[in-house]
Amino acid sequence: MEKNSEFAKQIALKIAHFGSLAVFAVFATLPFLWMLITAFKQDADLYNRANNPFIFNLAPTLIHLKELFYETQFVKWLYNTAWVGVAVVLITLVLAIPAGYSLVRLAGRWGERLGIGIFLTYLVAPTILFIPMSRVVAELGLQDSLWSLVLVFPTFTVPFAIWLLMGFFKAIPKDLEEAAMIDGYSRFGAFIRMVIPISTSGILTVVIFSFTLVVQEYIYTLTFVTTASKYTVSVGVPTFLVHGDVYNWGALMAGCLIASLPIVIVYNFFVERFISGLTLGAVKG
Amino acid sequence: MDTARQTVEGTFRSRYQRLSYFFDNEKVLGLLMIAPAMLYILALVGYPLILAFVYSFSDITVGSTHFNFVGLKNLQELIGDFDFKNALKNTILFTAVSMSIVLVLAKILALILLKDFKGKFLVRALILMPYVAPISLGVIGWLWMLDSIYSPINWLLQHTGLFGSDFWPMWLGKPGLAMTAIITVHVWRMLPLATVIMLAGLTSIPQDIQDAALVDGAGYFRRLFQVTIPMMLPIMMVAVLFGIVFTATDIIIILVLTRGGPYDSTQVLVSQAFYTGIDASDLAKGAATALFLFPLLAAVAIFMLQIARRSEVT
């Protein structure tokens, strides 16, 4: 009897555990499931209120994908995003790798403080800055150009990258660099030949996060760019897949899903590092 | 092959030796290595930040060369302005309500995810999706789910009998409902981040402390309130601070879902700043509106510094 009720209690706990997990998982993924269903549905099925919206009442179709790729500038937006992303990632690496190393190894006691100061600019950036920044961009003659994004996006990637890299460089034993310097390398030579090669995983993390931040960016792009062919995917899809007031929901949902999935998959492998960076090392992961 | 490589390395080394003063003097090298990043940040974060203040005290507009200092006029006008008060009220309401919900749900979800079970990696990946996917695109999914005619949520609630057959709410068309929708979508988006931060906090508590409390006879709630929560406090602070910043300064959800409507019922400070400063070309008034967030951000920055200093000591 005693054993039985204990067993029942465990079963009940397990059901409650999985039940609540399922509720959270459905809440998180519902919009994406809805995108997936909509993207392959015929219009006649989609815009019929009598139909059950969660199943295919008519055969699935690829017509929305065709519209998306051949009748909109979606491919161009993907290309723009990739182009800006690569440029911003390169600038971020060139600025942040030496800066992070310098703050950890060469700056002494104020290095850490300055590092935190730089990290905090990551918090302040876009909301307060987008209005004056629009003027700065206009004065440089870069309005309505992808170059404005290349110039401005590192304002949020560089501070975070410096902070993440500081964590990685701190973990490298000083002996390794000293050994390289005894072998005849200068301090800078040791940095290039020794520190950078063994920090590959840290640098890769920075690459992924910078690229993700670029793909997600919205306000600056909306402020600086006005020509349809120059948008990134995050702004182009919500702004231009609208025909008058009638949304082309099938193509719209297909576009959202296609642009989201690669980022979602890659990001998952790096999320722990992102969190330990964000929490200022208040948690040792 | 090998000798060729050696000569390359040799020239590499000798060229460096000539510059060895710069490359071996740590102070000079440190300065040289950080200078590009510092200059960039000063030019493109520092300078615009100063401009934001300058604009707030001026009458600058888009496309004109006209520029006069008008002192506190913009700020005075804003404080008396109905639209501004409305936006401020909405910002506070939106931030407070969504943060409270996020914190409670994140704590629950983190405790659920703490347990080991099969397929945990997959479940975690699914739960992270709202935060990871480009926000503006995820929100379009919600826009379609909350559609005034074809909303599948309404369909489901009606066909399960929760709504009457003539009840079909227009989620984005009624003031109260629109705010509810915005908060729901924001919770959807912030929950993954808050959960992962909480989870990091929970797993960082050494198991032997929990064990020691258990041996001393502490029950579940005693351990929750006297061990788990106090030990998680710094990390929870971090979660709350980020939450506040990301909530008060984020307008993507509002720009995509409601554009501040209906009747400005979802207009917040930043969206107001965007529509005044960029759409209506009144840079000065827009900058002044956005600047009202600066004290909040500064307060958060100071808190973060304190937390960082404390973790530096330990």
Q: Are residues B33 and B130 in the same domain?
A: no
- Tens of pLDDT, residues A128-171: 788 888 888 988 988 889 999 999 999 989 988 898 888 888 88
Query: Which tokens go with A203?
Result: 């640098």
Count how many pairs of residues, chain A against chain B, have C-beta atoms within 8 Å.
290
In a domain, B68, yes or no: no
Instruction: Say yes or no: B150 and B34 in one domain.
Output: no
* CB neighbours of residue B103 within 10 Å: 18
Opening angle at CA B48, ends B43 and B49, nearest 5: 110
**What is the residue-averaged pLDDT of chain A?**
83
> How many CB atoms lie under 10 A from the CB of residue A108?
11
Instruction: Give me Rg for the CA atoms of chain B.
Output: 26
Q: Are residues B98 and B244 in the same domain?
A: yes
Is residue B259 in some structural domain? yes
**Are residues B163 and B279 in contact, defined by beta-carbon separation less than 8 angstroms?**
no
Check if the beta carbon of residue B129 is closer than 8 Å to that of residue B192. yes
**Domain shared by B264 and B180, yes or no:** yes
Of the pLDDT bands very low, low, confident and very high (cuts 50, 70, 90), residue A283 is very low
Residue A285: pLDDT band with limits 50, 70, 90: very low
Examine the domain organization and report whether B229 and B80 are in the same domain.
yes
Res B26: pLDDT: 75
Same domain (yes/no): B126, B260: yes
Q: What percent of chain A clears pLDDT 70, i.e. is strictly above it?
A: 92
- Taking only the tens of pLDDT, chain B with its 314 residues reads 455 555 555 555 555 555 566 666 777 888 888 889 989 988 888 898 888 888 888 877 766 667 777 777 777 777 778 888 888 888 888 888 998 899 889 888 988 888 877 777 788 888 888 888 888 888 888 888 888 777 787 777 777 777 777 777 777 877 888 888 889 999 999 898 888 888 877 877 777 887 888 888 888 888 878 877 777 777 777 778 777 877 877 788 888 888 877 887 788 888 888 888 777 777 887 888 888 888 877 887 787 777 766 665 44
d(CA B270, CA B286): 9
| DSSP-derived secondary structure for B272-284 | HHHIIIIIS--HH
Confidence of residue A280 (pLDDT cuts 50, 70, 90): low
- Look at B13 and A95; give whichever has higher pLDDT: A95
Distance CA B12, CA B17 (A): 9
In chain B, residues with a C-beta closer than 8 Å to the C-beta of A187 are 23-24, 26, 29
Residue range of the domain that includes B45? 1-56
Residues facing B292 on adjacent strands:
none
In a domain, B201, yes or no: yes
**What's at A218, amino acid-wise?**
Y
pLDDT at A94: 94
Task: For residue A185, give how far its alpha carbon lies from the nearest alpha carbon of chain B (Å).
Answer: 7
- Which residue in B26, B41, B129 is closest to A28 by CB distance? B129
Round to whole Å and give the CA distance between A221 and B308.
33
Cα separation of A36 and A53, whole Å?
12
Cα–Cα distance, B303 to B298 (Å, whole number): 9
Q: C-alpha distances in angstroms, B178 versus B70, B156, B166, B267?
A: 37, 19, 20, 11
For residue A90, name the pLDDT band (cuts at 50, 70, 90). Answer: very high
Cα A77 to its chain centre, rounded Å, is 16
Residue from the list B45, B252, B255 with its beta carbon closest to the beta carbon of A125: B45
Q: Do A96 and B37 touch (CB under 8 A)?
A: yes
Is residue B130 within 8 A of residue B138, CB to CB? The reply is yes
Query: Is B261 inside any structural domain?
Result: yes
User: Can you tell me the distance from the alpha carbon of B283 to that of B289, in angstroms, rounded to the nearest whole number?
Assistant: 10
Residue A87 has pLDDT above 90, yes or no: yes
pLDDT at position A149: 93
Residue A187 has its nearest CB partner, among B29, B191, B294, at B29
Q: A253 contacts in B (CB within 8 Å)?
A: 140-141, 144
Are B92 and B161 part of one and the same domain?
yes
Residue B202 lies in a domain: yes
**Helix pair angle (B175-203, A2-39), 10° resolution:** 130
Q: Cα A111 from chain centroid? A: 28
The answer to whether the CB atoms of A280 and B126 lie below 8 A apart is: no
CATH number at residue B269: 1.10.3720.10
Task: Evaluate whether A279 touches A167 at the Cβ level (below 8 Å).
Answer: no
Domain ranges for chain A: 2-61, 65-278
Nearest CA in chain B to A31: B141
Residues of B in contact with A140 (CB under 8 A): none
Lowest mean pLDDT among A39-43, A274-278, B176-180: A274-278
Block residue for tokens 């709350």: B240
pTM of the model: 0.82
B153 and B191 housed in the same domain = yes
Let me know: does B299 contact B276? Beta carbons within 8 Å: no
Q: Are residue B99 and residue B246 in the same domain, yes or no?
A: yes
Map residue B95 onto helix, strand or coil. helix
* Domains: count for chain B: 2
Which residues does chain A have within 8 Å of residue B155's beta carbon, measured at their own beta carbons?
Answer: 49, 52-53
Cα angle A89, A97, A102 (rounded to 5 degrees) comes to 155
**Both tokens assigned to B198:** 């909480």
Cβ-Cβ contacts under 8 Å, B107 against chain A = none
Same domain, B85 and B51: no
Q: What is the rounded CA–CA span in Å between residue A189 and residue B23? A: 8
For the segment A255-269, the average pLDDT, to the nearest whole number, is: 84
In a 3-state reduction of DSSP, which class is residue A175? helix
Architecture of domain A65-278: Orthogonal Bundle (1.10)
